[in-house]
Amino acid sequence: GESVGLHLPTLSVQEGDNSIINCAYSNSASDYFIWYKQESGKGPQFIIDIRSNMDKRQGQRVTVLLNKTVKHLSLQIAATQPGDSAVYFCAEKAPWDTGNQFYFGTGTSLTVIP
């Protein structure tokens, strides 16, 4: 079946540096993507989303890039802070009419070194 996966399971960055977290998806029909942040012991928290008719979207300190040609998604975090340490998931929306389900990748654990 189709799946969402991440290239790097762990990432360590120095505080103040920029972080890039990558995600590969295999369902070319997926039309909506979300990045979630999950801190230890908590539920996922929405960070930023992007639709398939866009290739870039910016938020506060975060940017999501979508490359549909190679089915690749990335999350860029500017000036990474210790509070950014968490597991980051990309999720794709199943392009079916009946639901609003999202399919999650395995996740990348980001550690920010002070």
Residue 10 in contact with other proteins, rule: CB under 8 A: no
**What minimum distance in Å lies between the beta carbon of 79 and other proteins?**
25
Q: Which of 21, 44, 77, 112 binds other proteins (CB under 8 A)?
A: 44
Q: Is residue 45 close enough to count as binding other proteins by CB under 8 A?
A: yes
**CA 39 to CA 50: how far, in whole Å?**
22
Stretch 71-110: interaction string toward other proteins, x if CB under 8 A: ------------------x-x-x---xxxxxxxxxxx---
- The C-alpha torsion from 52 through 90 and 70 to 110, rounded to 10°, is 140
Residues 36 and 48: their CA atoms lie apart, in Å, by: 7
Q: How far apart are CA 21 and CA 108, in angstroms?
A: 7
Residue among 60 and 114 whose Cβ is closer to other proteins: 60
The distance in angstroms from the start CA to the end CA of the chain is: 41
40 binds other proteins (CB under 8 A): no
Which positions ≥6 away from 70 have C-beta within 8 Å? none
Q: Does 35 engage in binding with other proteins (CB under 8 A)?
A: no
Residues that bind other proteins (CB under 8 A): 4, 31-32, 34, 36, 41-46, 49, 51, 89, 91, 93, 97-107
